[in-house]
Amino acid sequence: MDLLASLRALIADLRREMWKKHRRHVPIGDLLSDRWELAQSYRFGEGTSCYDNVLVLGTVTVGKNCWIGPNVILDGSGGLSIGDHVDISAGVQIYTHSTVRRALSGGAEGIDHEPTRVGSRVYIGPQTVIEMGVTIGDDVVIGAMSLVNQDVPTGTKAWGLPARPRN
């Protein structure tokens, strides 16, 4: 019980410190870890930060000075590459696989994989889903709650269900 009481006191102190410094409440994992050190442990680029509750699967490469927000899914099972200076907002899901054929065939067929690529200087709005095989060019803005199921050319602003260029 002494250990449990000590852990609770430590967590309470860390929460107060986080609130005082940043005016935010975060999960315990983010209180105990450093976002930049976590990104380094994944071998992401210099200056990149990644919240503790980000799900990282397979082969994911991330460039320099990126911000990966909370509750993000980075599925690299088919190969995911992300350039430099990319902001990935809360709740974004980026996929490189699909289990549709497997499900519809009752397991007789396999899982599909295709690499997904995100260029540099890209902003991806909250709750966006990027499907497998999509390439997003450089200097792109993807609006919140978009479904990106086709390539987005360099210099484009896109949003919607499905996402469409809006320049």
Active site residues: 97
Q: Which residue has the tokens 């919240």?
A: 51
Query: In the chain, where does DSSP find H-type helix?
Result: 2-22, 28-32, 35-41, 100-104
> Partners of 56 in the beta sheet?
74
> Could you tell me which residues come within 8 angstroms of residue 74 by beta carbon, excluding any fewer than 6 positions away?
54, 55, 56, 57, 60, 62, 68, 80, 82, 88, 94
> Could you tell me which residues come within 8 angstroms of residue 66 by beta carbon, excluding any fewer than 6 positions away?
39, 44, 45, 47, 48, 49, 82, 84, 85, 86, 87, 88
The amino acid present at 110, given as its one-letter code, is G
